[in-house]
Amino acid sequence: MPRVMATGSAADFIPPRPTLPKLRRAAAGCRGCDLWLNATQTVFGEGSTKATAIFVGEQPGDMEDRVGRPFVGPAGRLFDEALESAGIDRDIVYVTNAVKHFKFVRRELVKRRLHKKPSAAQMRACKPWLEEEVRLIRPRVVVALGSTAAQSLLGGSFRVTRHRGEVVTSDWAGPVIPTVHPSSVLRAPDELRAEARRDFFRDIAKVADYLKKGARVGQGTAVRQSTVAPPRVRQPATRKRPVPRARGTS
């Protein structure tokens, strides 16, 4: 039998009655898309299972791929600084990525692996892991770091540049605050970097405010994903319908 290279969705690997530890173990063997083939390992989310905020990046970087943990490289350091500056304790958050394997191209000349943006199909394939993380943790807010995360959470047409720092509603993940990816701050040209850093820190400070003030503050901006069905409303318990009497037997 040929070995399965990729099934097309991480949903094929979600265990029954999932918990975060079970998911993490299952994700280690995920072949939902082809990215597992070249990467070192799955980088699953980590942090408090009672987190009030989940921060979602794009995908592991070179360092995260080697270490097996999210946001431990240069972008992670900047992210940690922003959390600290906003007074957000890393112990109360959960950190993960929209895509859980590192996608890269090798550049032989510089002997480096260069990050490559995941495709829409890879984002779709990996989304079930993120859905489960959000469903199990039920945070007060999800923070999208960059456009890949924002598009997983809010749909493909969502534009971070237009809505950064706002509280928008995801059909499946609840309140989301989108901002830029910390890597974009690191990549900014010298003359713009200080400003990019300040703006990023300001957005993370808004997350801290949101967590302090309570879930109602600032909610309800009208940005919704219009292409997706509204969230399912739980039906009230159905009453047993009376069994219809057979006709003609009065």
Which partner in ligand URA, ligand SF4, none is near 126 (CB below 5 to 8 A by kind)? ligand SF4
Task: Choose the contact partner of 175 out of ligand URA, ligand SF4, none; CB within 5 to 8 A by kind.
Answer: none
* Closest residue by beta carbon to ligand URA: 57
Instruction: Tell me: does residue 70 bind ligand SF4 (CB under 6 A).
Output: no
Q: Is 115 in the site for ligand SF4 (CB under 6 A)?
A: no
**Rule CB under 6 A: is residue 124 a binding residue for ligand SF4?**
no
> Considering only 9-17, 67-75, 120-128, 187-195, which stretch makes contact with ligand URA by CB under 6 A?
67-75
Binding mask 82-101 for ligand URA (x = CB under 6 A): ---------------x----
Q: Which is nearer to ligand URA, 4 or 91 (CB)?
A: 91
DSSP one-letter string for 59-120: S--HHHHHH-STT-SHHHHHHHHHHHHHT--GGGEEEEESS-S--EEEETTTTEEEE-PPPH
Q: Which of residues 96-125 bind ligand URA (CB under 6 A)?
A: 97
70 part of the interface to ligand URA, by CB under 6 A:
yes
- Residue 136 CB-density burial (10 A; 0-12 exposed, 13-18 middle, 19+ buried): middle
Q: Supply the Cα-derived Rg of the chain in whole angstroms.
A: 21
Q: Least distance from C-beta 70 to ligand URA, angstroms? A: 4
60 binds, among ligand URA, ligand SF4, none (CB under 5 to 8 A by kind): ligand URA
Determine which helix (DSSP H) or strand (DSSP E) holds 175, and give its type and residue range: strand 174-179
57 scored as a contact of ligand URA (CB under 6 A) = yes
Residue holding tokens 């509280």? Answer: 167
Alpha helices in the chain (DSSP H): 20-27, 62-67, 74-86, 120-137, 147-154, 160-163, 182-187, 190-213
> What's the rounded Cα separation, in Å, for the pair 80 and 88?
9
Q: Which of 59, 147, 152, 179 binds ligand URA (CB under 6 A)?
A: 59
104 lies in the site for ligand SF4, by CB under 6 A: no
| CA–CA distances in Å: residue 100 to residues 30, 52, 59 | 9, 21, 6
Measured between alpha carbons, how far apart are the two ends of the chain, in Å? Answer: 64
Among 44, 71, 94, 158, binds ligand URA (CB under 6 A): 71
Residues binding ligand URA (CB under 6 A): 57-61, 64, 70-71, 73, 75-76, 97, 183
